[in-house]
Amino acid sequence: MIPAAFDYYRPETMDDVIAILQEHGDDARVMAGGHSLIPMMKLRMADVPHLIDLQAIDGLSDITIEGNRITLGAMVTQHDLIAHDGLTAAAPILQETALQIADPQVRYMGTVGGNVANGDPGNDMPGLMQCLDATINLIGPDGARSVAARDYYESAYMTAREDDEVLVSVSFDTPSGGHAYEKQKRKIGDYATAAAAVQIANSGGIVASASIAMTNLSDVPVWSDDAAKALIGTSCDADAVKAAVAAMLGDIDPSEDNRGPVAFKRHVAGVILTRAITRAWSRTTSRA
């Protein structure tokens, strides 16, 4: 598997990145760790005449926790997420998710930006970012702008990012309460058959807030407001969880692939979500 030839750029400033993108339009792509893009290029399913490597841009690998706000640079790797104690203390769901992505080597190269930016329905971070109500920060020729993760994904591989924009970071408030990232996959290195990101806050035994998103069950990540609402105000009892699952099942739209037919995926989505909610809730009570 050999990619087609391309011109390689390793700019040192974001202005240079934008300039190259503007010059070449569709023919240019930015690359972070390359673990989504390079296999596609090797299979000649992605044609990238101008490849812009972001590794020399300062600051893109930073994990910043300022007060209640966490920002992850686009070049932060899954390995960085796992290894960062402060982050794990502030938002443990990131480590739990990252550990379920690919394998150790891929996690050393795979980045938050690459995982979030492209709109690959199989990636885990987009659903997680929707669960955390993250903001996706972009820079383009007209300067910086932010898009809510919940508004970012339009369809498979189609996002709110313009071709001449670069995803530079994601930011979100420190989540509160209990968390869980539950994923069923066929083996290490596989995408999810179904995965669920759940954050729940507990106030005196009652669900004070909840956020629920699922991955690889539609052409975009599925954040279900109805599912969260089904939990809020309840004691997260079996009926409430059932209602949340039912709401989520109304929002997903899985398609058949080698992981199985639609009926199976819908069933597993319900099971995985039930487990995620249960685990997240158990973590709130254990903390309370």
Chain contacts with another protein (rule: CB under 8 A): 1-8, 10, 31, 34-35, 38-39, 41-44, 51, 53, 55, 79, 102-106, 108-109, 184, 186-191, 193, 258-261, 263-264, 267-268, 271-272
Nearer to another protein, 35 or 161 (CB): 35
Nearer to another protein, 31 or 117 (CB): 31
Provide, rounded to whole angstroms, the least separation between the CB of residue 32 and another protein.
Answer: 10
Say if residue 19 is exposed, middle or buried (CB neighbours under 10 Å; 0-12, 13-18, 19+): middle
Nearer to another protein, 169 or 184 (CB): 184
Name the DSSP letter for residue 54. G
Provide, rounded to whole angstroms, the least separation between the CB of residue 195 and another protein.
Answer: 12
Nearer to another protein, 214 or 272 (CB): 272
CB 72 within 8 A of CB 63: yes
Provide, rounded to whole angstroms, the least separation between the CB of residue 163 and another protein.
Answer: 21
Residue 65's closest CA among 85, 93, 90? 90
Residue 127 CB contacts under 8 Å (≥ 6 apart), including other chains: 195, 196, 197, 213, 214, 215, 221, 222, 223
Neighbour count for residue 267 (Cβ, 10 Å): 14
Provide, rounded to whole angstroms, the least separation between the CB of residue 284 and another protein.
Answer: 24
Provide, rounded to whole angstroms, the least separation between the CB of residue 34 and another protein.
Answer: 6
Q: What is the C-alpha to C-alpha distance for residues 222 and 225, in angstroms, rounded to an integer?
A: 9
Q: What is the C-alpha to C-alpha distance for residues 57 and 46, in angstroms, rounded to an integer?
A: 24
Nearer to another protein, 5 or 143 (CB): 5
